Structure formats: structure tokens, C-alpha cells
Amino acid sequence: MNLSFFDQFTSPHLLGIPLVLISMLFPTLLLPSPTNRWVTNRLSTIQLWFIHLTTKQLMLPLNKGGHKWALILTSLMLLLLMINLLGLLPYTFTPTTQLSMNMALAFPLWLATLLTGLRNQPTLSLGHLLPEGTPTPLIPALILIETISLLIRPLALGVRLTANLTAGHLLIQLISTATTALLPILPTVSVLTTLILLLLTILEIAVAMIQAYVFVLLLSLYLQENI
């Protein structure tokens, strides 16, 4: 059976049942379970410190009205982070390489921020569509451009996350395939490609963390515009 490089992005099935839900819920097992004690061991201490640091960074651009979203944004950040990192392990499936999943996360949250602004301050929210001091002949064109840029935001969120993770996984598979193919022919070149593969893996770990942070940070900035 011949497999292509893109088969790794196919959702796994067992007896016709998609297993993508399991791969999405599995990272939640790594979160600390609630107990009667604040701190149980060193691992939970590190996890709580990281959650506190993440929440603090995400809430910096928001005013007090946006702090109500702290639980949603922090939970989304941790979910994306763990899914991205676990997807770098061998023989695993990364749900965030699916555009459908990323759009399912981006569109409702973006729509929620937009509806929040239209409900709380409709005049100011609609005012973003027309910059102040715009010449009268350019008003229709600018309103159209700003509307398109507003509606394309969730698509940009989903495509950015999908494209970065997909490109990284493809590069790792290409270089690893070249490493194994060159090993019996050119061992020296194979060692060099192995070093490149190691550096690329470290880079992909950084990309997985950064993309999860950027996804949630952009949502918090969209929220700040509407509160």
C-alpha cells in the first residue's frame, strides 16, 4: 500500500468511527485534577505557574470588562498548546492540522467578540468600518474594504494555524524520509540531515507553542476592539 505525504493529515477511523474526538480530549488528561489541596506536587506547581503566567499575558491588552473571558481564552490556549505539542510525537494525529476544526474554533469566538461589541457599543463598533477623516468619495470603497477585512478575520485565524502546522509536519516527514534513504548510500550526508531534522524538530516545538499563543492573542485583541 503506497502512502502519500498527506496521508498523515487524514483523520483516523476505527470500525468506521472517527477518532479525532479522542485525540482532542486526550490532552485534558494532562491537566491537574482538582483536589482539596492547592499544591499536591512539583508538577502541579509548575502547571499552575504556567497557567497563571499564560492568563496574565493574555489579559494584558484587555480592560476589566474583558477579564470575564479569562477562563475561555486560557482554556483554549492550553488546549491548542497541548494538541500541537502532542501532535509532534511519532504515530500521532494532530487535529489542528484540519482547517475544519480550526475554523470551528475561530468562527464562533470571533462572532462572539463581534456580537459583544454590537450589543454593548454599536456606534463605536460600526465606527471601525469608516476611519475618521475619510474623504467623501472614498467612503463606499473604504466601508467595503473594512467590511471584507472584518469578515476575513476568522478565516485568517484558521488558515494561519493550519498552514504553519501542516508545513512543519511535511518538512519533518520529508527530511526524515531523506535521512533513511541516504543512510545506506551516503552515511555522512545522512548524519548531516539528521542534525537538520533535530534542529527542525526544535523549531517545530517553538512553532507549535507560538501558534497557539498567537491564535488566542489575536482573539483577545479582537475582543479588546469591541469592549
Range of 62-66, 95-99, 195-199, 222-226 with top mean pLDDT = 195-199
pLDDT in tens, 180-196: 888 888 888 888 999 99
Note the maximum CA span of the chain: 71
pLDDT in tens, 188-218: 888 899 999 999 999 999 999 999 999 999 9
What is the Cα–Cα distance from 59 to 65, expressed in whole angstroms?
A: 10
Distance of CA 144 to CAs 4, 121, 125, 223, Å? 42, 21, 15, 22
Count the neighbouring beta carbons within 10 Å of the beta carbon of residue 158. Answer: 23
Binned at pLDDT 50, 70 and 90, residue 108 comes out as: very high
Higher pLDDT among residues 138 and 52, named by residue: 52
Three cell numbers, residue 124: 463605536
Residue 59 has pLDDT above 60, yes or no: yes
Helices (H), the chain: 20-25, 42-59, 70-86, 99-120, 122-127, 139-151, 153-182, 187-225
Cα angle 216-143-108, degrees, rounded to a multiple of 5: 30
Predicted local confidence at residue 65, as pLDDT: 77
